[in-house]
């Protein structure tokens, strides 16, 4: 899985990867668009469509906001993020989700317990009470910032602000909360009730399916914006980068809402890179977030700069 921003040492940040897609998505989308005005059948259109015409049809869809042909292509992502972030993710209704259940799996938390036991030179605990004891010992005896960060990153997403602060109290609080969770389980509290003790930073795994229209017109514009919450913004930018590598004819136009809005009023839409490199300028008076025209380029560049780890 691809970590964000791309290195394994950033395990405290969310992770995302594109796992499945329709290989001919760009050709199918372009052919579907042409089908609406052509007397030919779909197969004939698909087989005769040149790369140049394919790109032209997709560009026309973006410019006109004719989104229905984009719905013929679906992309599947695997995302590891915090529960706080997954609550934002599932608000996107035109998508399908399968999420790791906290009632039946404590996979990430068990990894935390196993690493903590190694750090305090204790056998890997088999019972819940022993797990709580190991975590309490780790929280009380460990003091090195990087050691604690590496430890809690097994089970939790850590905000960059907490990393930049360089203090350990946040990490120790996570260990204390996890110990309380295992104490509750030891007292025969059901998983579904014990999980109420866990911080929202706890990691979860979600499989997400979205079609190209949802991605281009809703999810990416909303979540790539500099006004989006940092974690889901990091995920959106990472997914956009992977999508561009997979189907550049479609997703080179993907960007925050200012890009979507500007491309709708231009005769020829521009790619996100064209805006970032200054090859295309914004003509809209203000973006949907009410940023005035002269401030949009700098706001867009701020959106690219995800919180540093």
Binding-site sequence positions = 68, 88-93, 99-103, 195, 211-213, 223
The dihedral sign for the CA sequence 248, 251, 254, 260: positive
Active site positions, annotated: 223
- In the block, tokens 């002269």 appear at 294
SS3 state of residue 15: strand
Instruction: For residues 303 and 287, give the distance between their C-alpha atoms in angstroms, rounded to a whole number.
Output: 14
Q: What is the DSSP string of 214-264?
A: HIIIIIHHHHSSTTS-HHHHHHHHHHHHHHHHH-HHHHTT---HHHHHHHH
Distance CA 278, CA 141 (A): 53
**226 CB-near residues (< 8 Å, 6+ apart):** 233, 256, 299, 300, 302, 303
Q: Known binding site for FAD: residues? A: 68, 91-93, 99, 211-213
Nearest CA-CA partner of 174 in 103, 120, 113, 127: 113
Q: Which uninterrupted H or E stretch holds 161?
A: helix 160-165
Helices (H), 166-229: 169-186, 191-194, 212-214, 220-223
């Amino acid at each position: 899985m691809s970590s964000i921003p791309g290195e394994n040492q950033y395990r405290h940040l969310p992770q995302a990867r594109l796992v499945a897609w329709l290989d001919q998505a760009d050709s199918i989308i372009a052919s579907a668009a042409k089908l609406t005005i052509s007397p030919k059948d779909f197969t004939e259109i698909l087989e005769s469509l040149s790369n140049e015409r394919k790109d032209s049809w997709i560009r026309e869809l973006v410019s006109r906001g004719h989104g229905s042909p984009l719905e013929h292509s679906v992309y599947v992502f695997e995302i590891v993020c915090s529960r706080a972030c997954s609550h934002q993710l599932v608000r996107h209704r035109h998508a399908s989700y399968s999420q790791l259940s906290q009632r039946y799996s404590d996979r990430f938390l068990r990894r935390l317990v196993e690493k903590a036991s190694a750090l305090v030179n204790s056998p890997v605990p088999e019972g819940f009470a022993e797990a709580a004891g190991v975590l309490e010992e780790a929280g009380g005896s460990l003091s090195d910032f990087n050691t604690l960060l590496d430890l809690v990153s097994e089970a939790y997403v850590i905000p960059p602000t907490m990393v930049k602060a360089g203090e350990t109290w946040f990490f120790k609080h996570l260990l204390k909360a996890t110990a309380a969770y295992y104490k509750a389980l030891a007292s025969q509290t059901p998983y579904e009730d014990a999980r109420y003790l866990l911080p929202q930073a706890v990691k979860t795994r979600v499989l997400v399916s979205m079609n190209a229209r949802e991605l281009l017109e809703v999810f990416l514009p909303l979540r790539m914006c500099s006004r989006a919450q940092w974690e889901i913004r990091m995920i959106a930018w990472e997914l956009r980068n992977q999508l561009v590598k997979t189907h550049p004819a479609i997703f080179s136009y993907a960007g925050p809402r200012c890009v979507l809005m500007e491309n709708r009023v231009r005769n020829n839409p521009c790619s996100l890179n064209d805006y970032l490199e200054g090859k295309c300028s914004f003509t809209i008076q203000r973006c949907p977030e009410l940023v005035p025209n002269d401030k949009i380029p700098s706001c867009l560049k701020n959106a690219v700069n995800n919180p540093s780890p």
